Homo-oligomer: A and B are copies of this chain.
Amino acid sequence: MKLYACLGSGNSYKPWLALHQLGQAFDLILIDVLQGEQKSHAFLKINPLGVVPFLEIDADKRMGESNAMLWYLAHDSVLMPASRAEQAEALQWMFFEQSKLEPFLSPARLFTTILPDHRQERAGDIMGWQAGAKAGLARLDAHLGHRDFMLRSGYSIADIALFGYVHVLEEAGLSMAHYPGIARWVARVENTDGFRPLVDLRQPQDEAA
């Protein structure tokens, strides 16, 4: 299995973390999105859509969309919720993440921390993204205020999907101190078996694995 991923990306981190926690062997190929490598001739031959993360399961089976990858990878594993109702609940939060959090946290983080030179000129946009993120984060914080993980049944792909961008909300210019339920959950996720932090997603030659 090959994972094409971008350094520092919350979406790339999700399947990377799941692969580690599942003990699944894979090759990591880093694509430098800030340098436009995802639009290079070489990468477009692999994924004509020119986006990462991208997962190559075998020569015939390739997929995009980080949360769909989580679903695929977790099949019949401890990371997949067991019942029909729990699976639907996991998906509910995973769709929530892609529509109510990621579209706000990701660009706010990009222009606050990853490309800080543009912070001044994008100040208005950043405020808008932060406002959008706050609405979703308040809802998530309330949910996590009275449970250990996203689902009562325990740690699952729903946690990984939410963790991707939520754990770095301060890099989007927001304050974890406002979200005590989220803060406690972040610490719990970091203590799950086989957890590895986002900074460990780096050049293959630097990988300890």
Q: What residues make up the interface of A, taking CB atoms closer than 8 Å to B?
A: 49, 57, 61, 63-65, 67-69, 71-72, 75, 84-85, 87-89, 91-92, 94-96, 98-99, 102-103, 139
**How far does the Cβ of A108 sit from chain B's closest Cβ, in whole Å?**
16
* A68 & B84 in contact (Cβ 8 Å cutoff): no
Chain B residues with Cβ under 8 A from A65's Cβ? 91-92, 95-96
Chain B residues with Cβ under 8 A from A75's Cβ? 84
Interface of A is mostly: helix
CB within 8 Å for A67 and B95 given contacts A72-B84, A103-B103, A139-B49:
yes
* A95 & B72 in contact (Cβ 8 Å cutoff): no
Chain B residues with Cβ under 8 A from A68's Cβ? 88-89, 91-92, 94-95
